[in-house]
């Protein structure tokens, strides 16, 4: 089962990361996701990383790359379920995740994506969703 499923929910796609990411899996995910964004005409992508207990520069780069790719195809990306320890590590590692929006839960991430779709003006790229 070396494949990360991409679930379609309305105009959005949902991915949950629950296995250790390695090079080949990341490449496959990037290809699958970009194909699906185009095929399903998705307006937004949610990536749940609540299972990630640790994060390294590899994962950080992966998230930034995926965000850049999907944005190129006209879809917004929101990372949801980040653990406090992961946020600490990301800052301590000096990873630049400014292009990646975050939300605390899938519900809030969907609300954020929906609000982004309603406002064609580009919002501040590292804002957090309203509580």
Residues that bind a second copy (CB under 8 A): 1, 3-5, 7-10, 14, 16, 18-20, 48, 50-53, 81, 105-107, 110
Shortest distance (Å) from residue 109 CB to a second copy: 10
Q: Indicate the residue among 1 and 121 with the shorter CB distance to a second copy.
A: 1
Q: Indicate the residue among 50 and 99 with the shorter CB distance to a second copy.
A: 50
Q: Which of 71, 58, 57 is nearest to 100 (CA)?
A: 71
Shortest distance (Å) from residue 29 CB to a second copy: 12
Buried b / exposed e along 95-124 (16+ C-beta atoms within 10 A)? bebeebbbbeebebbbebbeebeeeeeeee
């Amino acid at each position: 089962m070396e494949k990360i499923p991409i679930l379609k929910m309305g105009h959005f796609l949902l991915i949950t990361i629950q296995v250790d990411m390695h090079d080949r899996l990341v490449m496959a995910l990037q290809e699958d996701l970009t194909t699906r964004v185009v095929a399903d005409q998705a307006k937004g992508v949610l990536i749940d990383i609540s299972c990630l207990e640790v994060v390294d520069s590899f994962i950080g780069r992966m998230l930034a790359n995926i965000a850049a790719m999907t944005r190129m195809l006209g879809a917004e990306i929101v990372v949801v379920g980040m653990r406090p320890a992961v946020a600490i590590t990301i800052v301590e590692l000096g990873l630049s995740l400014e292009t990646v929006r975050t939300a605390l839960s899938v519900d809030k991430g969907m609300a954020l994506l929906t609000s982004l779709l309603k406002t064609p003006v580009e919002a501040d790229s590292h804002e957090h969703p309203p509580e």
